[in-house]
Amino acid sequence: MYVSPEQIADTNKASVEALIGLATTQFAAMERLSALNFNAAKSALEDSVSYAKSLLAAKDAQEFASLSTAAAQPVLEKAIAYSRGVYEIATQTQADMSKFAEQQAGQFNKNVAGYLDKVSKDAPAGSDVAIAAVKSALAAANSAYDSISRVTKQASEIAETNFNAAATVLKEGKKKAA
């Protein structure tokens, strides 16, 4: 079987485009995470300055203690919001990466199946068993990949459920404390 230079060039071009898409996804995630971190740091600095000013303006120990107690809840809420933001970025990035992997796996499977079909037409007699074994191994690999994808998706859903439950418990605790 002969592979033309055009086929090699097309394959290389598709690979480079796939890597560029992957890099773009990663840079977008890093950009969103950097913005989230910057905003969280800026907010923390502003809150710290405001808190320090209010503590310095306290007229007695009771007001000082009251300010200290009142400052804890907004910090907890911002920590939950930050965690939610990180989780959303990670979830979106994971979904994008899964989609990318599925596309690449689909294209790979299509190419291998096409190659096997071409080889089987030109193969000597008796090689049907070897080609069938390769096709069987490919089907088993696809099945394993599908299983891993399902488990990963389930784990992600469980993590989201747990995160939401924890946030709900903290919010309920806030309502009871108020």
Measured distance CA(158)–CA(134) in Å, rounded: 36
CA dihedral 76, 82, 85, 91 (to 10 degrees): -90
pLDDT in tens, 45-59: 999 999 999 888 888
Higher pLDDT among residues 72 and 34, named by residue: 34
Measured distance CA(85)–CA(76) in Å, rounded: 14
Is residue 162 a contact partner of residue 154, using CB atoms and an 8 Å limit? no
Going by C-alpha positions, the residue among 71, 55, 73 that lies closest to residue 63 is 55
Max mean pLDDT among 6-15, 68-77, 88-97, 125-134 falls in 88-97
pLDDT in tens, 58-80: 888 888 888 888 887 788 889 88
pLDDT score at 30? 96
Q: Which of 26-30, 45-49, 119-123 has the lowest mean pLDDT?
A: 119-123
DSSP codes, 27-41 = HHHHHHHHHHHHHHH
- Token couple for 79: 């920590």
**The overall pTM is greater than 0.75:** no
DSSP 127: T
pLDDT score at 15? 84
pLDDT in tens, 15-25: 888 889 889 99
* pLDDT reading at 172 higher than 90: no
Q: Mean pLDDT over all residues of the chain?
A: 83
Work out the angle at residue 92's Cα, subtended by the Cα atoms of residues 90 and 94, and round it to the nearest 5 degrees: 65
Phi, psi of 127 (to 5 degrees): -90, 0
Is residue 77 a contact partner of residue 164, using CB atoms and an 8 Å limit? no
SS3 category, 4: coil
* Confidence category of residue 43, pLDDT binned at 50, 70, 90: very high
Handedness of CA 163, 167, 172, 173 (dihedral sign): positive
